[in-house]
Amino acid sequence: KQEVTQIPAALSVPEGENLVLNCSFTDSAIYNLQWFRQDPGKGLTSLLLIQSSQREQTSGRLNASLDKSSGRSTLYIAASQPGDSATYLCAVPWAGNMLTFGGGTRLMVKP
């Protein structure tokens, strides 16, 4: 069964810093990995989907990388803003379609 771990569990940074969130998974036989953002009391918003054939995916100030062989993905946020404060979750599918989620990284960007 797939297990997904996210480090750190919480992160507090001053505005403007570049930061990296980490995600690791135990079964490297995946065909994609998805990063989500969750605001308090809200649903999950899809940020990026990386296919296994890709190594990186970019959207605005966000860049996600995937290294299947080592079972790792990183989400890079450039020039962080207070509006980036949220919980970030990574998820990988196993047995075809069932997403397994990490525990999330709770990010606080201070003005």
Partner 1 sequence: DAGVIQSPRHEVTEMGQEVTLRCKPISGHDYLFWYRQTMMRGLELLIYFNNNVPIDDSGMPEDRFSAKMPNASFSTLKIQPSEPRDSAVYFCASTRSSGAEAFFGQGTRLTVV
Beta bridge partners of 43: none
- CA 83, CA 34: separation in Å to the nearest integer? 21
Question: What's the closest the beta carbon of residue 93 comes to partner 1, in angstroms?
Answer: 6
In the complex with partner 1, the residue whose CB is nearer, 13 or 62, is: 62
The identity of residue 69, as a single letter, is S
CB of 100: closest distance to partner 1 in angstroms?
A: 8
When the beta carbons of 60 and 111 are compared against partner 1, the nearer one is 60
Distance CA(17)–CA(14), nearest Å, equals 6
Task: Provide the binding-site residues for partner 1, judged by CB under 8 A.
Answer: 31-32, 34, 36, 41-46, 49, 89, 91, 93, 95-104
Tokens standing for residue 69: 């062989």
